[in-house]
Structure 1
Amino acid sequence: MKKELRVKKNKEFQEAFQKGQSFANRQFVIYSLKKENQDYFRIGLSVSKKLGNAVTRNQIKRYIKQAVFELSSQIVTGNDYIIIARKPAAEMDFFEVKKSLTHVLKVGKVFIKK
């Protein structure tokens, strides 16, 4: 993911948690915060140490990044999205992660209508 497409600063995470909308399913929680004058969307990832060792956490992050990349043409721009992985995400393969993310993004009405 390109640098300008990532949310990295704690202040930006906290702003999304406090002012943004959240929606969730069993595997993921997503916070969405509308950003004025932003022509693209940004993604922030949070994977707790409770989900497993570093290898497992990094694998989950890779799966999420790839799924977002593949779905990026359908995601509404101008927002920051914080994706928090829950415990069941640790046992999922890439296709299950993508399916679950697609579901939670539809719940939050984040997809562009086609």
Structure 2
Amino acid sequence: MKKKNRVKKHEEFQKVIHGGKKSTNHSFVLYVTEKKEAEARIGITLSKKMGNAVKRNLIKRQVRMMCQDLISFENCPFDAVLIVRFGYLSNDFEHNKKSLEKLFSKATM
């Protein structure tokens, strides 16, 4: 996932969370807002309680990879914030990818 496709600033996260549509499942919470620009952006966040910095960065890299496989960033005009829950740790990669796919399809309807 390219850096231009990421939500980075605190203000941008807050704008999406407070003005967005919320969808949840056991592993993720997803907030989505529409925007005028043509390219999608995603911000990923998780709690410090999920592990040390190495573990959290591993989880974020895995989730970025899932998003890259699931979303075409060029023609999707939305910003999204994805919060990773503790349920993510109890499932394997494929199960988490399927649950994220269901969550994105539910949120973008």
TM-score (norm 1): 0.86
Are 1:52 and 1:90, in contact at CA under 8 Å, matched by a contact in 2?
no
What is the total number of aligned residue pairs between the two structures?
Answer: 109
Name the residue aligned to 1:65: 64
Pair 1:45-2:44 in alignment: yes
RMSD over aligned CA atoms reads: 1.9
CA offset at residue 107 of structure 1? 2.0
CA offset at residue 75 of structure 1? 9.3
CA offset at residue 51 of structure 1? 1.2
Amino-acid identity (%): 39
Task: Please give the secondary structure, in 2, of the residue aligned with 1:29.
Answer: strand
Counterparts of 2:50 and 2:74 in 1: how far apart (Å)?
27
Which ranges of structure 2 fall in alignment gaps of 5 or more residues? none
Name the residue aligned to 1:3: 3
Counterparts of 2:18 and 2:74 in 1: how far apart (Å)?
22
CA offset at residue 91 of structure 1? 3.0
CA offset at residue 21 of structure 1? 0.7
Which ranges of structure 1 fall in alignment gaps of 5 or more residues? none
Are 2:39 and 2:73, in contact at CA under 8 Å, matched by a contact in 1?
no
CA offset at residue 90 of structure 1? 2.1
Q: Which amino acid aligns with 1:34?
A: E
